[in-house]
Amino acid sequence: MHYLDHAATTPIPRAVADRMYEVLTGQFGNPSAQYPLGRQAATLTEECRSTVAAAIGCKGDSLVFTSCGTESNNWAIRSALWHGRHTGKHIITTAVEHSAVLEPLKALAQEGYEVTYLKPDSRGNITAGQVFDALRDDTALVSVMLVNNETGCVFPVEEIARGLRQRKSRALLHCDAVQGFLKVPCAPNPWGVDLMSFSAHKVGGPKGIGALYVNPSLRNLRPLLFGGGQERGLRSGTEATAQIAGFAKAVELRRENLSEKLAHVDAIKACCLEKLLTIPGMEAVSDGAAPHILCMSLPGYPSANIVTDLGEQGICISAGSACHKGKASHVITAMGLPKRTAAGVIRISFGPETTEADIDALYEALKAHQANRFPML
């Protein structure tokens, strides 16, 4: 198999699975329980919290575990608006956020909030200036992702945070950093971001565990889940200790020689780009700076067919969220690409495990696909 879909999810290293198994079978206590097995689970949770938090340069008490990136985004958005309820009902976001941001905002629009969607340019980029131009006195929330999951574009979150401060805006800043974590610089505390979302399964951890960074200056954040008061009352529900341990182990492993790993991924991306561009008609759709995502198009060859055809040969790539039932994704649509280009968009995404042999297999399969199919007009 040639797995080239690391932006969708990542393989789990053996050490992560082993660590989870140890916790599942041997350290299975409930962290709220008052006997040693429970206290051991509570200690484990706090150690893991510190490990994950250290990867974004903050203390454990700024990080709350959630069930996934989607929950973190939903919670961040709802709680920021509750916090800013006296500021107003205006929200600024981008038209290219993940559906885990766009869908909760759609629901909020039905509840009377007004949402401004910033459009990207034709390469998928957004500028901080667009955010500042849209800012109003009643803006309660700005939500901008760190790395776009389809194009790999890195958005200027630090500059946005600085600009909001300079303008003395009362809006809270949320950032969906699910695709940026351990791929590009990410430092919510010094940047002055209020809320930042993470997910383990994009960095070699298990699915079903995420985290939300909460700036220590934010007091009385309103929970999304109410109940037994776990996570200092911020997120009720018995802690998923095995998932948490897997998250921490994955982060620990990923951080070992991280710059070498990222340089490798970057080199693989450059090699893949160069090689695929030799295929007649192939285009680079974006120049996204994230090292792990490459967004290309083979105009005239619908991406759904490419993905299925390659999948049958054991080559896993994605049409992104890029092609839902034959329709171009909201990201590609927002970029305003010509129809044939939009229909042919594929996302190839890499990890530390990716080799040149994977790229060679992809290249050969794409050439064969082109040779064996008639192009769409």
Catalytic positions, written as ranges? 323
User: Taking CB under 6 A as the rule, does residue 5 contact ligand PLP?
Assistant: no
For residue 66, state whether it binds ligand PLP (rule: CB under 6 A).
no
Taking residue 308's Cβ as centre, other Cβ atoms within 10 Å add up to 11
Q: In whole angstroms, how close is the CB of 178 to ligand PLP at the nearest point? A: 4
Residue number, 74 or 169, with CB nearest to ligand PLP = 74
How far apart CA 96 and CA 126 sit, in angstroms, is 9
Residue 356, H or E segment = helix 356-372
Q: Which of 149, 230, 329, 341 binds ligand PLP (CB under 6 A)?
A: 149
Give the residue with the Cβ less far from ligand PLP, 204 or 299: 204
Residue nearer to ligand PLP on the CB measure, 53 or 135:
53
Q: What is the distance between the alpha carbons of residues 223 and 183, in angstroms, rounded to a whole number?
A: 29
Pick from 361, 358, 340: nearest CA to 350: 358
* Closer of 93 and 169 to ligand PLP (Cβ): 93
Q: How many separate helices (H) and strands (E) can be counted in the chain? A: 13, 14
Main-chain phi, psi angles of 196, to 5 degrees = -140, 135
Q: Least distance to ligand PLP from the beta carbon of 107, Å?
A: 16
Which of 70, 143, 318, 341 binds ligand PLP (CB under 6 A)? It is: 70
Minimum distance from residue 322 beta carbon to ligand PLP (Å):
12
DSSP collapsed to 3 states, 239-273: CCHHHHHHHHHHHHHHHCCHHHHHHHHHHHHHHHH
Bridging pattern class, strands 195-199 and 210-214: antiparallel
The interface with ligand PLP within residues 160-179 (CB under 6 A) comprises 176, 178-179
**Out of 20, 44, 145, 262, which residue is the one contacting ligand PLP (CB under 6 A)?**
145
By CB under 6 A, residue 153 contacts ligand PLP: no
337 binds ligand PLP (CB under 6 A): no
**Which residues of this chain interact with ligand PLP, rule CB under 6 A?**
68-70, 98, 100, 145, 149, 176, 178-179, 199, 210
